[in-house]
Amino acid sequence: MKPATIDGPRTAVAVRGLSKRFGNTQALDNVDLQLTWGEVHALVGGNGSGKSTLIKILAGVLSADEGSLDIDDVTTDLTGHRPEEAARAGFRFVHQDLGVFPILSVADNLGLGGQFVTGPTGSIRARASRERVREVLRRLDLDVDPQALASTLSMPQRALLAIGRALQDVDEQHRAILVLDEPTAALPAEEAGELLRTLRRLADAGHSVVLVSHRLDEVRQAADRVTCLRDGRNAGTLDAADLTEPKLVELILGGKINVTTGAGRIARSEAPVLELRHVSAGPVRDVSFTLRPGEIVGIAGLLGSGRTELLEAIFGVRRINSGDLLVRGEAVRFPTSARMKSHGVAFVPEDRGTGGVFPEHSVATNMTVGQSRRYFRRGWFRRRLMVAEVTRDLTRYSVKAPGAQAGIETLSGGNQQKVVLGRWLRTDPAILLLDEPTQGIDVGAREAILGLIAEASRKGMAVVLASSEFEELTRLSDRILVLCRGQVTQEVHDQTTAHELLEIVLENQRLTR
């Protein structure tokens, strides 16, 4: 068979009619995706849009309910796609978690997974392996010593190393379809650029590169074409040349914004419930702000801006190095989570799995953990009272669960998050700290959670909302603090759009460099 030649944007890889259903959720509904050799193709979409499912099906990790894959006129049925077939078809994947082991050398990192050159006894032939590694590094223009530990590499270099590992068994005659799942998520903007230039070079060499990204600026910068998924369906494929950021945002959000808004109901005269004076903690430097009852203050910043650390410092789980933390005008000397809780502060952490949910425990236990004192009366634990109250709260916080006694694992991620949020809301906290409250949950659950937050704030609860979803911030917040490299660099009071906010954040990022 004649290998495909690079002569214009001929469709080389086509996914057709892909559908996948999980229980009641239609994750993918008749999705098409067309790639050409030599292009960088961005795949965008909000949380729950189906991007990850699509990629997992291409990788052969999940099987599709329907759908086929054409590569250079060879058709494969995706319902029985296996990882080996995906690899044989030329798919290579670099996941968000790069899988680069810091304590191993560059050469060893490349050799993992059966890529060492071995002798007849199975031992590694050091010299031949090193030669191979040099070759791989040269192809990627990665100028590092193969013997250096991966921990000495910068983040973009590590990403390149991961790409190199994915592509090392693709020789120059063959073409790969390289799929990168948010490779720049952990990178500051300037380092992300370095990585994107490498992707461009790979595309120019004839490969096809699929870039999954949340960063709209880099999509515009790096991609030739953009395919957007929304709620498991194709929302459109555009040439990057025609693309403006507002257009992209509209594609992703589908124009249906402003379901829940906060804004405009604070009594400015009320005394602040929380005040930070020149607080420094870890990467957070000299942050001051006040928070009044009923107010929602958004924290906007890119990854690594110190959003999480700021909230952790307020909740007493990160040491405050200097500055004062005042709750209702009184300084809290040595904040601990237990002390802040007794001051009426609540914290919904970013990572539901490690910080929110108690696995192998019931929904009821998860909802009441840390609050069991209220069911402990006259030396006895009032279990039935607890179950009754939790059952009531499941309705109140619109948690879809088989019942209060069901295991927490039986709930979807979105409903687990509602339990984590409800756990705090049912204690009527004065201050609610939210870190990425809608991360990784579907659109419906997201609206429910945003609604709960807005409702609680209307009743007088003060909210600090840290989020990388700017659309969410602009919808809910009364004002937004822009956090850059640990410092509040700007305060946005006026109504802004997600797009304007992104511009502001990027501008601040440039200025604070």
Partner 1 sequence: MRYTSKVIELVERYGLVGLLVAIGIFFKFNSATPQFGSSANITNILTDQSLLGILAIATVIPLVAGQIDLSIGPTAGFSGVVCAGLMSKSGWSLGAAVVAAIALGLAVGVVNGLLVAKAGIPSIIATLGIASVISALVLAYSKGLSITTGISPKLIGLGAGKWIGLPKLFYFFVLCAIAVWYGLERTPAGKDLYALGSNPRAALLVGIRVPRRVFSAHVIAGGIAGGAGILLVANVGSGTPQLGPNYTLPAIAAAFLGATTIQPGRYNVWGTVAAVFFLAVSVNGLTLWGASPWVNQFFDGAALILGVGFGLYAGSLRRRGVGAARVTPAEPAEVNPEPPGAGPDNSVGAAAHPISQ
* Single-letter code of the amino acid located at 35: L
Contact status, residue 125 vs residue 169, Cβ threshold 8 Å: no
- For the chain, how are helix, strand and coil distributed in percent, rounded to 5? 35, 25, 40
Interface region with partner 1, contact rule CB under 8 A, candidates 153-161, 192-200, 344-352, 447-455: 344-352
Cβ proximity to partner 1, 113 vs 403, nearer residue: 403
Q: What is the end-to-end Cα distance of the chain in Å, rounded?
A: 52
Pick the binder of partner 1 from 331, 381, 428, 455 (CB under 8 A): 381
Pick the binder of partner 1 from 261, 391, 490, 497 (CB under 8 A): 391
Sequence-separated (6 or more) residues with CB below 8 Å from residue 254 = 230, 231, 235
359 touching partner 1, by CB under 8 A:
yes
Pick the binder of partner 1 from 370, 491, 510, 511 (CB under 8 A): 370
Please tell me the distance from the alpha carbon of residue 378 to that of residue 382, in angstroms, as a whole number.
10
Strand bridging mode 11-22 / 25-36: antiparallel
Which H helix or E strand runs over 376?
A: strand 376-377
Cβ proximity to partner 1, 6 vs 185, nearer residue: 185
Residue 58 C-beta: closest distance to partner 1, Å:
15
Rg over alpha carbons for the chain, rounded to the nearest Å, is 25
Interface region with partner 1, contact rule CB under 8 A, candidates 265-273, 287-295, 352-360, 493-501: 352-360
Please tell me the distance from the alpha carbon of residue 509 to that of residue 319, in angstroms, as a whole number.
26
Residue 311 C-beta: closest distance to partner 1, Å:
10
Q: Is 14 helix (H, G, I), strand (E, B) or coil?
A: strand
Interface region with partner 1, contact rule CB under 8 A, candidates 142-150, 167-175, 349-357, 490-498: 349-357
Which H helix or E strand runs over 489?
A: strand 487-492
Contact status, residue 39 vs residue 224, Cβ threshold 8 Å: yes
Residue 69 C-beta: closest distance to partner 1, Å:
20
Pick the binder of partner 1 from 77, 124, 244, 376 (CB under 8 A): 376
How many of the other CB atoms lie within 10 Å of CB of 244? 11
340 touching partner 1, by CB under 8 A:
yes
Task: Give the alpha-carbon dihedral of 434, 439, 443, 446, to 10 degrees.
Answer: -10
358 touching partner 1, by CB under 8 A:
yes
Query: What's the DSSP call for residue 272?
Result: P
Contact status, residue 280 vs residue 286, Cβ threshold 8 Å: yes
Interface region with partner 1, contact rule CB under 8 A, candidates 66-74, 114-122, 391-399, 483-491: 391-399
Pick the binder of partner 1 from 120, 384, 493, 494 (CB under 8 A): 384
Please tell me the distance from the alpha carbon of residue 299 to that of residue 349, in angstroms, as a whole number.
14
Which H helix or E strand runs over 138?
A: helix 126-139
Using CB atoms within 10 Å of the CB of residue 245, give its burial: 0 to 12 exposed, 13 to 18 middle, 19+ buried: middle
Cβ proximity to partner 1, 12 vs 320, nearer residue: 320
Pick the binder of partner 1 from 195, 235, 300, 404 (CB under 8 A): 404
Cβ proximity to partner 1, 193 vs 444, nearer residue: 444
403 touching partner 1, by CB under 8 A:
yes
Residues 446-475 that bind partner 1 (CB under 8 A): none
Report angle CA 92, 98, 104 to the nearest 5 degrees. Answer: 110
388 touching partner 1, by CB under 8 A:
yes
Contact status, residue 266 vs residue 259, Cβ threshold 8 Å: no
334 touching partner 1, by CB under 8 A:
no
Cβ proximity to partner 1, 81 vs 132, nearer residue: 81
395 touching partner 1, by CB under 8 A:
yes
Pick the binder of partner 1 from 273, 325, 401, 464 (CB under 8 A): 401
Residue 252 C-beta: closest distance to partner 1, Å:
13
Residue 469 C-beta: closest distance to partner 1, Å:
13
Interface region with partner 1, contact rule CB under 8 A, candidates 141-149, 164-172, 197-205, 387-395: 387-395
80 touching partner 1, by CB under 8 A:
no
* Single-letter code of the amino acid located at 440: G
* Single-letter code of the amino acid located at 283: P
Residues 87-106 that bind partner 1 (CB under 8 A): 97
361 touching partner 1, by CB under 8 A:
yes
Contact status, residue 27 vs residue 4, Cβ threshold 8 Å: no
Binding mask 408-447 for partner 1 (x = CB under 8 A): -xxxxxxx-------x---------------xxxx--x--
Pick the binder of partner 1 from 378, 380, 493, 494 (CB under 8 A): 380
Residues 108-127 that bind partner 1 (CB under 8 A): none
Residue 346 C-beta: closest distance to partner 1, Å:
9
Sequence-separated (6 or more) residues with CB below 8 Å from residue 319 = 281, 282, 313
**216 — phi, psi (to 5°)?**
-70, -35
Please tell me the distance from the alpha carbon of residue 177 to that of residue 184, in angstroms, as a whole number.
18
How many residues of this chain bind partner 1 (CB under 8 A)? 72
Cβ proximity to partner 1, 42 vs 399, nearer residue: 399
Residues 12-71 that bind partner 1 (CB under 8 A): 20, 22-25, 27, 47-53
198 touching partner 1, by CB under 8 A:
no
